[in-house]
Amino acid sequence: MAPEISNLSMFFLIFFVLIPVSLSYFYALGLSKSIIWSSFRGIVQLFIIGYVLTYLFSLPPAIGISIMLSIMIAVASFHASKKGVGLPFVRLIIFAIIVGVALLILAMWLGFDMISFEPEQVIPMSGMVIGNSMVAIGLALERMKSEFQQSKGKLVAALALGAQPKQASTILIRKIVKAAMIPNVDGLKTVGLVQLPGMMTGLILGGVPPIEAIRYQIVISLSIFTSVSLAAMITTIIFYRFFFNKHMQLVDMEKKEA
């Protein structure tokens, strides 16, 4: 069993925050207030969610899991949609994508008897899938805007020569999806060598045999990789179309954002 962390030890965590704050101040990065606020907000959120999870774990599985997954998906959709300002129905579409990906992964876990339908297992594992899907969608949207803006001349030329929007965007779509997937691909390459993943480490600290902890880590690592791939691909395939109007002309997204 892992030793209990005392309140005094928790207090000394302030030094972990002071280091980046000092660096920000020294190099005039202007991030000091943001670092302090983010740290404080994160701590408060974690304590709140700790009490919320304690309550949800006491409810019947179907109710507790449904409530928490709904909250996580709604928050993830809201934050990911910020990267797609100017795109039509962005929040609703992202919500549907995350719901679809999360339910698919959950169905595979339960269908192949990898986990039990219990809040203690479903909620934290689904949270990792939803969180990483949110990041992948945000990266895809951000990269999409950048790529379409930088390649505006090439796209206009391709359309003028008779190319369909799909044909003109093929290379960009590949680059966007690849960029969104690279962090997870690199993470899989070095898992267990550069870092011991959080889930495995947590289980080992909780007293679970290392081999069993590794099994769970393999499940979640591959699940995250699948969810990130699907989320990035589906997001790109759906949203690239909004960069063209019904006359197959390129739309200026910068004007839409303004």
| 197-209 confidence digits (pLDDT tens) | 777 888 887 888 9
Q: How confident is the model at residue 256 (pLDDT cuts 50, 70, 90)?
A: low
DSSP β-bridge partners for residue 195: 191
Same domain assignment for residues 38 and 79 = no
| 27-45 confidence digits (pLDDT tens) | 888 999 999 999 999 999 9
Nearest to 83, CA basis, from 239, 225, 207, 244: 239
Same domain assignment for residues 5 and 68 = no
Chain centroid to CA 17: how far? Answer: 24
Cα Rg of the chain (Å, integer): 21
Same domain assignment for residues 48 and 90 = no
pLDDT above 80 for 61:
yes
Q: Which two tokens stand for residue 146?
A: 């950048």
Q: Looking at this protein, which amino acid is placed at residue 9?
A: S
Q: How confident is the model at residue 179 (pLDDT cuts 50, 70, 90)?
A: confident
Q: Average pLDDT in the 208-218 region?
A: 89
Q: How confident is the model at residue 73 (pLDDT cuts 50, 70, 90)?
A: very high
- How confident is the model at residue 9, as a pLDDT? 83
Distance CA 156, CA 18 (A): 50
pLDDT above 60 for 184:
yes
Arithmetic mean of pLDDT over the chain: 89
**Count of C-beta atoms within a 10 Å radius of residue 217:** 21
pLDDT above 70 for 170:
yes
Q: What angle do CA 22, 44, 11 make, to 5 degrees?
A: 55
Q: How confident is the model at residue 3 (pLDDT cuts 50, 70, 90)?
A: low
| 9-18 confidence digits (pLDDT tens) | 888 888 899 9
Same domain assignment for residues 43 and 166 = no
| 231-244 confidence digits (pLDDT tens) | 999 999 999 999 99
pLDDT above 60 for 2:
no
Same domain assignment for residues 162 and 247 = yes
Name the domain count of the chain: 2
Q: How confident is the model at residue 193 (pLDDT cuts 50, 70, 90)?
A: low
The three-state DSSP-derived secondary structure of the chain is: CCCCCCHHHHHCCHHHHHHHHHHHHHCCCCCHHHHHHHHHHHHHHHHHHHHHHHHHHCCCHHHHHHHHHHHHHHHHHHHHHHHHCCCCCHHHHHHHHHHHHHHHHHHHHHHCCCCCCCHHHHHHHHHHHHHHHHHHHHHHHHHHHHHHHHCHHHHHHHHHCCCCHHHHHHHHHHHHHHHHHHHHHHHHHHECCCECCHHHHHHHHCCCCHHHHHHHHHHHHHHHHHHHHHHHHHHHHHHHHHHECCCCCECCHHHHHC
For residue 3, the enclosing domain spans 1-58
Question: What whole-number percentage of the chain has pLDDT above 90?
Answer: 59
Q: Average pLDDT in the 81-110 region?
A: 95
Same domain assignment for residues 144 and 34 = no
Same domain assignment for residues 119 and 166 = yes
Nearest to 187, CA basis, from 203, 176, 198: 198
pLDDT above 70 for 195:
no
Q: Average pLDDT in the 218-239 region?
A: 94
- How confident is the model at residue 196, as a pLDDT? 65
Distance CA 37, CA 31 (A): 10
- How confident is the model at residue 77, as a pLDDT? 97
pLDDT above 80 for 117:
yes
Of 58, 75, 90, the position where a domain reaches its end is 58
Distance CA 256, CA 84 (A): 11
Q: Which two tokens stand for residue 248?
A: 């197959």
Same domain assignment for residues 12 and 104 = no
- How confident is the model at residue 206, as a pLDDT? 80
**Residue 175, CB-side half-sphere exposure with 13 Å CA sphere:** 14
C-alpha to C-alpha distances, 103 to 65, 70, 145, 165, nearest whole angstrom: 12, 11, 28, 31
| 122-158 confidence digits (pLDDT tens) | 999 999 999 999 999 999 999 999 999 899 899 989 9
Same domain assignment for residues 206 and 149 = yes
